[in-house]
C-alpha cells in the first residue's frame, strides 16, 4: 500500500538550470549571469517547464546568496516568464545557515527545503533538524511554498516528523522532490524511487523526481511510470547522452516534455504549476 497521490493529468516540469557545483570555466553553457538565466528561463518555458529552481552566481560566476541579486533575479524572472520561481535555500555546501534563511526575503513563490543532512560527494550538505524546522516556520511566515527535497529515505521519515509536529506548509500543499543518485544519498534506481514514493507522508499532494548524472533518464522514466512529476536541468546533469554534453537547458526540458507526452501526461504551464502548488498570487 502507498499513500502517494494518484497520477496527475499533466506533468509539472521543473528546470534546475545552474546549481552551485559546476564552474563556468568548466561548463561555459551553464547560465550564470542574470541575462543568461532569463534567456534560459524563457526558452525552458517554451519547451515545457512550469517552474524554475534557481541558484545564482556573482560577477565572477561563483555561487552566491546575495540578497540584492536574489531579489533582482526573482523580479526579472517574474517580468519575463510565467514560471513558478523557486529559490534554492540549499545554496552551496559552504553557505551559512543565516544566509540560507535570508533567501526567503527575496520573495520567491517557492523555496527548496532539504529534509536532512547528506554526504554530498566529498562534501557534506548540512541540514540539522533545528535548522530544517526554523526554515520551515520561516517559509510559512513569509508565505513561500516549500518544496521538500528528499535525498534519502531518512529524509522521507524526517518529513513525516515535520508535518506531524509542525502542521501543513503555506498553501497547504505538500510537494516533494526526490533527488536521487547523489554520491551519499539514495541511488537513482527504479527500486529506490518506488520505495521512497511508497513511504511518502499521507499529506503529500504531489511529487517529482530527478536523477543526477547518468541516473537522469532512468529516474525520469521511473517517475513517470510511478505517477510523478519531473525535474531536469544542468544542476543535475551535464550530459544529454553518452559523449554528448548538454548545450542548453532547454534540450533537457524538451526531452522531458516529450517523455511526459508519451506517458499521456503532457507538460503543464506555469499557471497550472501555480495552481498545483498553491503559490501566492503574483499580485
> Which stretches of the chain bind ligand KMH, using CB under 6 A?
19-20, 88-90, 92-93, 112, 114, 120, 125, 149
Q: What does each C-alpha distance from 78 to 48, 85, 278, 283 come to in angstroms?
A: 17, 7, 16, 11
CB of 158 to Zn ion, least distance (A): 18
Query: In terms of CB distance, is 123 or 263 closer to ligand KMH?
Result: 123
* Smallest separation, CB 89 to Zn ion (Å): 9
Q: Which is nearer to ligand KMH, 231 or 248 (CB)?
A: 231
In the complex, which residue's CB is closest to Zn ion? 88
Which lies closer to ligand KMH via its Cβ, residue 125 or residue 170? 125
List of residues contacting Zn ion (CB under 5 A): 88
Q: Where are the alpha helices (DSSP H) in the chain?
A: 34-47, 67-80, 97-102, 129-141, 153-166, 190-198, 216-225, 249-262, 270-277
Q: Work out whether strand 63-64 and strand 145-150 pair parallel, antiparallel, or are unpaired.
A: unpaired
Residues 6+ apart with CB under 8 A from 46: 250
- Smaller CB separation from Zn ion, 11 or 88: 88
Q: Which does 125 bind (CB under 5 to 8 A by kind): Zn ion, ligand KMH, none?
A: ligand KMH
- Report the partner that residue 215 touches, choosing among ligand KMH, Zn ion, none (CB closer than 5 to 8 A by kind): none
Q: Which does residue 148 touch among ligand KMH, Zn ion, none (CB within 5 to 8 A, set by kind)?
A: none
Burial of 82 (0-12, 13-18, 19+ CB in 10 A): middle
Q: Which is nearer to ligand KMH, 145 or 265 (CB)?
A: 145
Q: How far is the CB of 20 from ligand KMH (least distance, A)?
A: 4
Task: Quote the least distance from Cβ 139 to ligand KMH, whole Å.
Answer: 12
Q: Shortest CA distance to 176 belongs to which of 12, 9, 34, 40?
A: 12
Are the C-beta atoms of 131 and 97 separated by less than 8 Å?
Answer: yes
User: Is 21:236 a contact under the CB 8 Å cutoff?
Assistant: no
DSSP letter for 268, please.
Answer: P
Provide, rounded to whole angstroms, the least separation between the CB of residue 250 and Zn ion. 18
Residues 180/188, Cβ–Cβ less than 8 Å: yes
**In terms of CB distance, is 32 or 92 closer to ligand KMH?**
92
Residue 98 in contact with residue 138, Cβ under 8 Å? no
Alpha-carbon distance 204 to 200, whole Å? 7
Closest-by-Cβ residue to ligand KMH is 90
Query: Looking at beta carbons only, is 81 or 112 nearer to ligand KMH?
Result: 112
210 is in the binding site of which of Zn ion, ligand KMH, none (Cβ under 5 to 8 A by kind)? none
Closest distance between ligand KMH and the C-beta of residue 147, in Å? 8
Dig out the grid coordinates for 236 from the structure. 543535475
Q: How far is the CB of 132 from ligand KMH (least distance, A)?
A: 12
Amino acid at each position: 500500500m502507498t499513500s502517494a497521490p494518484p497520477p496527475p493529468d499533466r506533468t509539472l516540469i521543473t528546470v534546475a538550470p545552474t546549481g552551485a557545483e559546476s564552474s563556468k570555466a568548466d561548463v561555459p553553457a551553464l547560465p550564470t549571469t542574470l541575462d543568461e538565466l532569463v534567456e534560459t528561463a524563457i526558452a525552458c518555458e517554451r519547451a515545457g517547464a512550469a517552474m524554475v529552481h534557481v541558484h545564482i552566481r556573482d560577477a565572477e560566476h561563483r555561487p552566491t546568496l546575495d540578497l540584492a541579486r536574489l531579489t533582482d533575479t526573482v523580479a526579472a524572472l517574474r517580468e519575463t516568464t510565467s514560471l513558478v520561481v523557486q529559490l534554492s535555500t540549499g545554496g552551496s555546501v559552504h553557505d551559512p545557515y543565516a544566509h540560507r534563511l535570508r533567501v526567503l526575503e527575496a520573495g520567491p513563490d517557492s523555496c527548496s527545503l532539504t529534509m536532512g543532512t547528506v554526504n554530498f560527494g566529498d562534501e557534506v550538505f548540512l541540514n540539522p533538524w533545528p535548522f530544517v524546522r526554523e526554515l520551515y516556520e520561516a517559509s510559512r511566515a513569509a508565505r513561500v511554498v516549500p518544496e521538500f527535497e528528499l535525498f534519502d529515505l531518512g529524509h522521507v521519515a524526517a518529513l513525516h516528523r515535520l508535518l506531524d509536529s509542525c502542521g501543513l506548509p503555506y498553501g497547504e500543499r505538500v510537494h516533494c522532490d526526490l533527488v536521487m543518485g547523489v554520491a551519499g544519498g539514495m541511488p537513482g534506481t527504479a527500486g529506490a524511487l518506488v520505495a521512497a514514493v511508497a513511504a511518502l507522508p499521507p499529506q503529500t499532494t504531489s511529487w517529482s523526481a530527478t536523477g543526477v548524472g547518468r541516473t537522469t533518464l532512468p529516474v525520469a522514466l521511473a517517475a513517470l511510470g510511478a505517477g510523478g512529476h519531473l525535474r531536469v536541468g544542468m544542476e543535475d546533469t551535464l550530459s544529454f547522452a553518452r559523449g554528448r554534453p548538454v548545450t542548453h537547458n532547454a534540450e533537457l526540458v524538451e526531452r522531458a516534455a516529450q517523455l511526459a507526452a508519451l506517458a499521456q501526461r503532457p507538460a503543464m504551464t506555469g499557471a497550472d504549476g501555480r495552481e498545483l502548488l498553491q503559490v501566492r498570487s503574483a499580485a
